[in-house]
Amino acid sequence: MEEELMSLIKVWVYATISISYCYYISTRIKAGVFRLLSVLPVCVLFLVLPLFVSSVHFSGSTAFFLAWLANFKLILLSFDQGPLFPLPPNLSRLICFTCFPIKLQQNPKPQNQLPKWVFAIKLAIFGLLLYMYEYKQYMSPTVLLVLYSLHIYLEYEILLAPLKVLLSISLGCDLEPQFNEPYLATSLQDFWGRRWNLMVPAILRPAVYVPVRRMAGRKMNSDQALFLGVFASFLVSGVVHELIFFYFTRESPTGEVTLFFVLHGVCTAAEGAAKRTSLVRRLKMSQMVSRLLTVGFVVLTGGWLFFPQLTRSGMIERLADEAFLFIDFVKHKFFYLRRNKLLKS
């Protein structure tokens, strides 16, 4: 664990130096192709850095933070667009907003936030899920699918929520949440656009959706351009997920996860088109039914296309094993420090 932590520290030292370079050139080179060419070496480096750590959690989070989000943010910044524009007032802010999935909260709505004890419940459920893996052989495929889905969601939120709080305190500003209770989604548009991993649509919208829709709108009608913009966004998301899965498994991409996002892109666009028809507008469906259909569709298609590559390579179990290893590591360090303190006193 100590050796892996040292590798992770080195990776983030390289990332910090690289962002410092980007901060410098952003103040010296005008937005456009030349700034993009100056940023591209950093983008290439960020694609390589996740390979320097072998832990599933470390490589996965580094890939998500740097190879995906940071690269897209820097490319957008090259043209004075995206969440990094206007340029943050100091280097430390630029490093945080580039390297982490955070975004300034524009319109705080504390009344819509769930009580803090809900997070404690999620933490308890996640702990229970980890221990349930010991009885995996007795579970049906349906139960395992629900287990995997809960694991991915809860682990993401449990890791990112404290990070958001720490960065919010450090930066002295309100930050948008990374998740907005996705299990309450009433449609695919609601799930992907307003509830799940919110930093991703915030990046894909200016990077893919808007330019594709604008270009398509020159030769197509508005509905067709919208469909193409949504489809392109999900396609890019699928390709990037293939890259993330490669960092996870170090195995050749299979195309399954890309197909998962392409399917959801088509269904999300079709859902949006259907909602604009008079027939669907007249239909009224209870929120409970909408939530069951939406979450059920995501889970079932995830079991078909998203999880197979992870389960074949044993990544889900490795995630659980590493969580237990981290807990043991923290316990060991805590008792070691406490014992030394008692001996000194």
DSSP sequence for 9-75: HHHHHHHHHHHHHHHHHHTTS-TTHHHHHHHHHHHHHHHHGGGG---HHHHHHHIIIIIIIIHHHHH
Domain interval for residue 63? 1-105
Residue at 128 is within a domain: no
Query: Where does a domain end: 56, 85, 105?
Result: 105
Domain match, 184 and 101 both:
no
pLDDT number for residue 339: 62
Q: Same domain, yes or no, for 79 and 186?
A: no
The answer on 292 and 189 residing in a single domain is yes
What is the pTM for the complete model shown? 0.88
Q: Does 301 share its domain with 192?
A: yes
Q: Are residues 298 and 206 in the same domain?
A: yes
Asked if the structure places residue 246 within a domain, the reply is yes
Over the stretch 193-251, which tens digit does the pLDDT of each residue have?
Answer: 999 999 999 999 999 999 999 999 888 888 899 999 999 999 999 999 999 999 988 88
User: Same domain, yes or no, for 184 and 307?
Assistant: yes
Q: Are 186 and 275 found together in one domain?
A: yes
Residue reference for tokens 């649509």: 201
Identify the domain boundary among 82, 105, 128. 105
Number of domains the chain is built from: 2
Examine residue 151 and state whether it is found in any structural domain, yes or no: no
Q: What is the rounded radius of gyration, in angstroms, for the C-alpha atoms of the chain? A: 21
Per-residue pLDDT of the chain (345 residues; tens, 9 = 90+): 678 888 999 999 999 999 999 999 998 999 999 999 999 999 999 999 999 998 888 899 999 999 999 999 999 999 999 999 888 888 999 999 999 998 888 765 544 556 677 888 998 998 898 888 888 888 888 898 999 999 999 999 988 988 998 999 998 888 888 999 999 999 999 999 999 999 999 999 999 999 999 999 888 888 899 999 999 999 999 999 999 999 988 888 899 999 999 999 999 999 988 888 877 777 777 889 999 999 999 999 999 999 999 888 888 888 888 877 777 766 666 665 566 666 666
Nearest to 151 by CA among 245, 269, 57: 57
**Which of 53, 70, 105 marks a domain boundary?**
105
Longest dimension (CA), the chain: 78
Task: Report the phi/psi class of residue 255: left, alpha or beta, with left for phi > 0 and alpha for psi in -120 to 50.
Answer: left
Euclidean distance between CA atoms 12 and 7, whole angstroms: 9
28 C-beta neighbours (distance < 10 Å), count: 9
